[in-house]
Structure 1
């Protein structure tokens, strides 16, 4: 399964939203709570064996599924 599919599946499980636009800002849309974001960060770190620093946490890296995939590809 690709990184995109893994992340989309996990976010669907977190939010119960079935049709999430991969370019949509998940923070501004209200789809993710602050606890969901923490869960998502732990999921990404564990699944892709990477470390996300405090400086990396932001809309540009984890604001949308597209941004998360780009960030993971850059780090891995």
Structure 2
């Protein structure tokens, strides 16, 4: 069973490995997480705090990327 994208403890590295479609979202926000050696240890909360991003807004962008990549994925309400 796949972990949930919304899991606050899920590491950035896991997010990118499980949902590669999220990588462009990190790049669009000029985040260096894609090549970072710490990505297996940083959570989404950690990265958003580090880059001064609103976590809910960024999570929404990640969800959209995942859904665009998988049309069978449930849509948020």
- TM-score scaled by structure 2? 0.44
Tell me the TM-score normalized by structure 1: 0.45
Q: Which has the higher helix share?
A: 1
When Rg is computed on C-alpha atoms for both structures, the one with the higher figure is 2
